Chains A and B, each alone.
Chain A
Amino acid sequence: MLAVKTGELDKLTGLFDRYHPALYRFFFYHIRQQQMAEDCTQNVFYRVLKYRHSYKPQRSVKAWLYQIARNVLNDELKQQRKHRYDHDSSIPDDRQSSATADGKLKEKERLRLLEEALGQLAPADRDILILSRYQQLRYHEIAEILQLSEAAVKVRVHRAFRQLQSFYSKKGAL
């Protein structure tokens, strides 16, 4: 990143190769649309180029990228106000057939319920679960991204997961 900052823009390719799969997943889990997730991922790297001078060497590149990614996501969601997480579920609705379904369909149904439960979470809770569980970031990394203390991250992760469990079990009981 330092090389990019000092003008060696081609070095960004290395960062892209390394981080774009994870960033794409980050966006996809949030917005569930391939094209939009791709656009957002590109946007992160565009912003890296544009704001490369503001990168501080003492910061983790990963945390900086995720911070940009969260800003891109917020801007995107603001633009698409109508968007709802659970509107474009990637899992086909098999509820009709689930009564007679085999194990595979039941599995799909469970995943659908999980997606719906995630969609019900407050954005901040969903955010922290995506960062911790999907992106498998360490708490200290999340703390840096969200500019919180590690203790606060711990509390939030616990609360978000609890909430998710609660939504999920309620849906499962329906």
Chain B
Amino acid sequence: MCDKENIVHYLHGELPALQRKEMESHLQTCDSCREELNAALKLWDMFEELPIEPPSANMEADFRRMLNGFKYEERRNSTGFWKQLISFRLHWSYSVAMLAIGLLNGYLIQSQGKNKDIRDQFAALSDEVKGMRQTVVLSLLQNPAATERIKAVAYTEQVNSSDKKVMDALLTTLNNDPNINVRLVTLDALVVFAEDPYVREGLVRSITQQESPLVQSALADAMVKLKEQRALQIWKKQLSEPELDQSVREKIRTSMQAIQQTSI
């Protein structure tokens, strides 16, 4: 019995074994179906010959670029999110902790230190806040936004100069931050801690690290303020460098005079 509908499925190899056998034996005897099969086969085979332009050699490289780009974006987004979350949480917990300290402090003043337990708790909480403050500063100093880094520097007003981690972070910021405003703010913050020999030395060393005339001038002012003799040697060397900015050269000269006068 003719079943022309199945011819295309036969060509596709989609006929179940039994039907395929039936079809094959039918084709032996049916001219009409054989003709139909041959016509279909002709077109069928032509499909294979349809020309196809092969993909360019760039395709694999493009794929790898796309994959790397995607991975980079994904990483950036996720760290961005976590950084934001951490930053938000730090700000939040910092505020809560400060409030708690304030309340506790008030309470302690009221009770005039009668309760030793509370005093201990206060000390513990105070340590915690110090740690938190340090974390806030260190985290914010890494923030890609200059405004956030400036905020971090502002937080350091409440940090102790004995906090070496924060001081190191500030000195690194002073020497390496790409933003001039951040460097200037950091310099101001560090001058506050200049009583500390470590910070003071860091400031002196920073003279040779600065390239911006603005920061160089501000640093010169800081040296005058601190009456820092060690700056004189460094400046003498700098004045012998022909590429030194003219305005900075002048500033250094007047600063040197100012320091020498105060030392007399």
Contact in complex: A111, B44 (CB < 8 Å): no
User: Which chain A residues numbered 112 to 139 have a C-beta less than 8 Å away from chain B?
Assistant: 114-115, 132-134, 138-139
| Bitwise interface map of A from 153 to 168 toward B, beta carbon under 8 Å scored 1, else 0 | 0100110011011001
Instruction: Find chain B residues with CB under 8 A from A45 CB.
Output: 63, 66-67
| Bitwise interface map of A from 19 to 32 toward B, beta carbon under 8 Å scored 1, else 0 | 01100110011000
Contact in complex: B70, A134 (CB < 8 Å): no
Instruction: Find chain B residues with CB under 8 A from A110 CB.
Output: 46
Q: State the main secondary structure of chain A at its contact with B.
A: helix
Contact in complex: A38, B56 (CB < 8 Å): yes
Q: Is B59 an interface residue (CB 8 A)?
A: yes
Partner pick for A41 among B14, B44, B55, CB 8 A cutoff: B55
The range of chain B's interface size is 20 to 34
Contact in complex: A114, B43 (CB < 8 Å): yes
For the complex, what is the distance from the CA of A107 to the CA of B43, rounded to whole Å?
A: 12
**A22: shortest Cβ distance to chain B, in Å?**
11
Contact in complex: A41, B59 (CB < 8 Å): yes
Stretch at the interface among A10-18, A77-85, A95-103: A10-18
Instruction: Find chain A residues with CB under 8 A from B264 CB.
Output: none
For the complex, what is the distance from the CA of A162 to the CA of B44, rounded to whole Å?
A: 12
Contact in complex: A91, B51 (CB < 8 Å): yes
Q: Is B5 an interface residue (CB 8 A)?
A: yes
Contact in complex: B47, A28 (CB < 8 Å): no
Contact in complex: A46, B66 (CB < 8 Å): yes
**A69: shortest Cβ distance to chain B, in Å?**
15
Contact in complex: A115, B50 (CB < 8 Å): yes
Contact in complex: B9, A154 (CB < 8 Å): yes
Contact in complex: B67, A157 (CB < 8 Å): no
Instruction: Find chain A residues with CB under 8 A from B14 CB.
Output: 138-139, 154
Instruction: Find chain B residues with CB under 8 A from A20 CB.
Output: 55, 59, 63
Partner pick for A133 among B44, B56, B70, B74, CB 8 A cutoff: B44
Contact in complex: A161, B5 (CB < 8 Å): no
Partner pick for B62 among A13, A42, A161, CB 8 A cutoff: A42
User: Which chain B residues numbered 1 to 58 have a C-beta less than 8 Å away from chain A?
Assistant: 5, 8-9, 12, 14, 39-40, 43-44, 46-47, 49-53, 55-56, 58
The range of chain A's interface size is 35 or more
A28-B53, A114-B50, A139-B14 are known contacts. Are A42 and B9 too (CB-CB below 8 A)?
no
Partner pick for B39 among A107, A158, A165, CB 8 A cutoff: A165
Contact in complex: B43, A164 (CB < 8 Å): yes
Q: Is A37 an interface residue (CB 8 A)?
A: yes
User: Which chain A residues numbered 56 to 111 have a C-beta less than 8 Å away from chain B?
Assistant: 90-91, 107, 110-111
Q: Is A9 an interface residue (CB 8 A)?
A: yes
Q: Is B119 an interface residue (CB 8 A)?
A: no
Instruction: Find chain B residues with CB under 8 A from A162 CB.
Output: 8
Contact in complex: A161, B47 (CB < 8 Å): no
Q: Is B230 an interface residue (CB 8 A)?
A: no
Q: Is A34 an interface residue (CB 8 A)?
A: yes
CB-CB nearest in chain B for A34: B53
Contact in complex: A161, B8 (CB < 8 Å): yes
Q: Is A146 an interface residue (CB 8 A)?
A: no
Instruction: Find chain A residues with CB under 8 A from B236 CB.
Output: none
CB-CB nearest in chain B for A157: B8
Could you list 24 A-B pairs, sorted by A, with CB under 8 Å? A9-B67, A13-B63, A13-B67, A16-B60, A16-B63, A20-B55, A34-B55, A34-B56, A42-B63, A45-B63, A45-B66, A50-B70, A90-B51, A115-B50, A133-B12, A133-B47, A134-B47, A138-B14, A139-B14, A154-B9, A157-B12, A158-B8, A161-B43, A165-B43
A interface residues, Cβ below 8 angstroms from B = 9-10, 12-13, 16, 20-21, 24-25, 28-29, 34-35, 37-38, 41-42, 45-46, 49-50, 90-91, 107, 110-111, 114-115, 132-134, 138-139, 154, 157-158, 161-162, 164-165, 168
A29-B52, A157-B12 given; 18 more Cβ-contact pairs under 8 Å? A13-B63, A20-B59, A20-B63, A28-B52, A37-B55, A42-B66, A46-B66, A110-B46, A111-B46, A111-B49, A111-B51, A114-B43, A133-B47, A139-B14, A158-B5, A161-B8, A165-B40, A165-B43
